[in-house]
Every structure is written in C-alpha cells, then in structure tokens.
Amino acid sequence: MHRVVLVRHGESIWNQENRFTGWTDVDLTEKGVHEAFKAGQLLKDFPYEVDIAFTSVLKRAIKTMNYILDQDDLLWIPIYKSWKLNERHYGALQGLNKQETAAKYGEEQVRLWRRSFDVPPLKITVDDDRYPQRDKRYKELTEPEIPLGESLKDTIARVVPYWESEIVPHIKAGKNVLVVAHGNSLRALMKVLENISDEDIIDLNIPTAVPILYELDDQLRPLNRHFLGDQERVQEKINVVANPGKIME
Ligand SMILES: O=C(O)[C@@H](CO)OP(=O)(O)O
C-alpha cells in the first residue's frame, strides 16, 4: 500500500481579508502559523514518517511545510519546490475582496469563478503588474506556460503532469510523500486522483492546514481518504472555505 499526505497552507493574510489570492505571495497570519503547528502535531501521531516533501514557490505553502516538518524533526528530508504546485492563477480577480466581487457580479458568477471546472477568471494582460514574468522566480517559464488567469481545468493541466513525472515515481518507490500546496492546486490533484466528475468538483472545498491522508493501491487508486483531526472542527473549517463571505457578516 502507498501513502501520500496532502496539506493546504494555513490561513493567509488574504484569506483573512477575504481577497482572491492566486499567485500573490502573501504571508501566513498568526492563526495560519498556529494551524501549521497543529498539522505538524497531527502528523507526528501518524504511524508512518514522511520521507520526502513537495511544495509550491509561494511562502504561505513553504512556511506551512517548514512548520510541519519542524514539529516532526524532519526538516532534513528532501524538499522540492515548483511553481507547478502554485495556487491557480486568479487573473484580474487577484486582490479583489470576494464579498464585494459577489455584490458587483452576482453570487452565482463568483461561485462559477471559484469552484467550476472550466470557467476561467477575468484575465490579466501582459502589461499588468501581476504578469508573472515580472517576478524573477517565473523567468524560466515559456510563454504558453505563463498564466493570465486559470480555470481549474487549466490548473489540472500543469499540476497533474508534475504529479505524474516528479511525485509518482517516489510513491512507487515506497516513499511516504507530503505535498503542501493550495486550495485549488489540491482540488486539481484530488479531482484526478479520485476521478471526481466536472459537476461534483464544485462541492469540494479544502480546509486550511488539515492533513489529508490517502492510502493508494499499486495502481495509485485511492483505497481511502481521511482528513486527520477532530472531524467536527474539520467540517467547520470546510464551511469557512465554502462560504468565505458569510463569515465576514
Ligand atoms: O483566493 C484564492 O487564491 C483561493 C484560495 O485561497 O480562494 P478560493 O477558495 O476562493 O478559490
């Protein structure tokens, strides 16, 4: 049996401010740091030690991973970072408040932007300050790789090939793998892992800093998936992600 643990980063400053984040490199809040510590403690009780870890090039995920590994005295294990695990690029929505955006464009439009399979957000243009190539960490990206605003489908198109070529070989070699990423890059991965339909994916919301343990068969088909920790608390956290506007009221 193979094992992989997926973790979304802890609460970020823009999660707290209810703003579309995407590739904006915002930090964790104090609560987010605390959540990451808790995730590390939960993994400490996990009977199998993590052997190798993967994360994005965004600090909210990198720091969450470091806090987790530090709790478990595993900062020494091999760690790989890639932009391919970044949050989905939220285009011209990045920086906007989600509740204000819903008031302007309607709740249904925002729901489609946030959770549908193939509706992309409003896009940025190359002269936008948010154009990824202005940031040196994305200098190596080729033009077709540079996102202007990604749907979940577009996100799958970069996350899944990375999963298959860089992560799966380690899983098949018997390593216990940790992936610390983002709400939508993890939804992309989970959609494909669990074969979730384009219609059902709209209902999948990933709580912050809750370790998601998968046990996989030899074909890497999930035998089970388990959100670690107190299940009532996990559900509360899922509700916060599903209805971000509601918690601000
Ligand atoms: O803003 C974002 O980048 C994501 C994750 O925080 O938000 P949402 O849950 O709305 O997809």
Distance, CA 21 to ligand 1 centroid (Å)?
6
Can 87 be counted among the known catalytic residues? yes
Binding residues for substrate: 8-15, 21-22, 60, 87-90, 98, 114-115, 183-184
ipTM for the assembly: 0.96
pLDDT tens, residue by residue, 112-146: 999 999 999 999 999 999 999 999 999 999 999 99
pLDDT tens, residue by residue, 199-238: 999 999 999 999 999 999 999 999 999 999 999 999 999 9
Which sequence spans correspond to the domains of the chain? 2-248
As a whole number, the mean pLDDT across the chain is: 95
Can 9 be counted among the known catalytic residues? yes
The reply to whether the predicted model has a pTM over 0.90 is yes
pLDDT tens, residue by residue, 91-113: 999 999 999 999 999 999 999 99
- DSSP labels, the chain: -EEEEEEEPPPBHHHHTTB--TT--PPBPHHHHHHHHHHHHHHHTSSS---EEEE-SSHHHHHHHHHHHHHTT-TTS-EEE-GGGSPPP-GGGTT-BHHHHHHHH-HHHHHHHHH-SS-PPPPP-TTSTT-GGGSGGGTT--GGGS-SS--HHHHHHHHHHHIIIIIHHHHHTT--EEEEE-HHHHHHHHHHHHT--TTGGGG----TT--EEEEE-TT--EEEEEE-S-HHHHHHHHHHHH-TTGGG-
pLDDT tens, residue by residue, 24-49: 999 999 999 999 999 999 999 888 89
Superfamily in which the 2-248 domain is placed by CATH: Phosphoglycerate mutase-like (3.40.50.1240)
